[in-house]
Amino acid sequence: MTTNKEILMEIRDLSVEYTTRLGQVSAVDKISFDIYKGEILGLVGESGCGKSTMGKALMRMIQPPGKITGGQIIFDGEDIMTYDDDQMRDFRGRRVSMIFQDPMTSLNPVQRVDEHVIEAIQVHEPETKTETALKRAEKLIQKLGIRKNRMNSYPHQLSGGMRQRVMVGLGLVLNADLIVADEATTSLDVIVEAKLADQLRQIREDFDVSLLVITHNIALVAELSDRVAVMYAGHVVEIADVEPIFDNPLHPYTKGLLDSIPNIKLDEKEVLYKMPGEPPNLTHPPSGCRFHPRCPFAMPICSKYEPDFKEVTPGRQVKCWLYIDHPEKEQATIEVQA
């Protein structure tokens, strides 16, 4: 686990909206958090919560009908929201790279492995000769556990795990500082997934790179991450080191997610917890806290006002009225006690 607290990327009040025939969808709504140098940060939440949109927004890869509508993305002291297209083209790959969910659709089916890696190098370093780029590619691919003779293979000739390692290699070949892994293990079986998780940990150590691991797999996050950020309906509702968040979740949604994990220690008569309700329609999100219609601890204030994302202990932030003082909340407590 990393102990480095030097900030690599600062996300401040970032918002992303999609225009649909039903109205504007607020997929990411004024989110703020930091990514530290050398850490693995897990970003978890239900499908549709905005976590993949967040990952793409960090590389300014949101395409119409989506649009980044506000906020700052500060990387190594510079706000990349001010970059022009040429600067962003250089930024992607060289400073931040992405591993996509399905490598079979991300890799060019008519390019061999060596051609993929050489192309990635020469696009950003046009002065690099093909022979030199090939040597770099071979060295990196072998370090990722792919034999040298597979460099001449096409994507369809590789297993799912090998294709995903090629994607990892494309992310590392330019010595990026941050790799965004968007559901990178979803299409893999559990054995290959475990091997890739081990490899991601080793990559962090060998290349001193930060990783943002976007996933719905809570078990993977528990095994792999240093810190965890939990998303719900376009908001980050809790962020903390991995052990405290699993030992003592503070936000009711985080607790519900963890209680929903199948446990082999459950008694046969015990019923697996099912979180009530459904995620909200983000064209018309609930007033106040977006989780209040499903929350077992909801108070009157929860439907009135949106809570701040507050640091409750050092390094731990929660977006919940249970941990914030407010005059209306205090008045309600007095009336109940009376």
Mean of the per-residue pLDDT values of the chain: 88
- Residues with Cβ within 8 Å of 191's Cβ and at least 6 positions away in sequence, in order, are none
Which pLDDT band holds residue 269 (cuts at 50, 70, 90)?
low
What pLDDT is recorded for position 331? 53
The pLDDT of residue 338 is 37
Q: Hey, what domains does the chain have and what are their CATH numbers? A: 7-95+176-337 (3.40.50.300)
Q: What is the pLDDT of residue 325?
A: 86
More confident residue, 337 or 327: 327
Which two structure tokens, joined as six digits, stand for 127? 């002065």
Question: Which string of DSSP letters, residue by residue, matches 19-59?
Answer: EETTEEEEEEEEEEEEEETT-EEEEE--TTSSHHHHHHHTT
Predicted confidence band at 267 (pLDDT cuts at 50, 70, 90)?
low
**Cβ atoms of 35 and 41 closer than 8 Å:** yes
- How many residues are present in the chain? 338
* Percent of the chain clearing pLDDT 90 (strictly above): 59
What pLDDT shows up at residue 1?
Answer: 45
More confident residue, 97 or 338: 97
Q: How far apart are CA 180 and CA 59, in angstroms?
A: 9
Q: Does residue 53 register a pLDDT over 90? A: yes
Q: What is the pTM of this model?
A: 0.88
Question: pLDDT tier at 275 (50, 70, 90 boundaries)?
Answer: confident
Residue 296 has pLDDT above 70, yes or no: yes
pLDDT in tens, 169-208: 888 888 899 999 988 777 667 777 788 788 888 889 888 8
Long-range own/partner contacts, residues 74-81 (CB < 8 A, 24 or more apart): 74/9, 74/10, 74/11, 74/12, 75/8, 75/9, 75/178, 76/8, 76/9, 76/177
The pLDDT of residue 57 is above 80: yes
pLDDT of 330 over the 70 cut: no
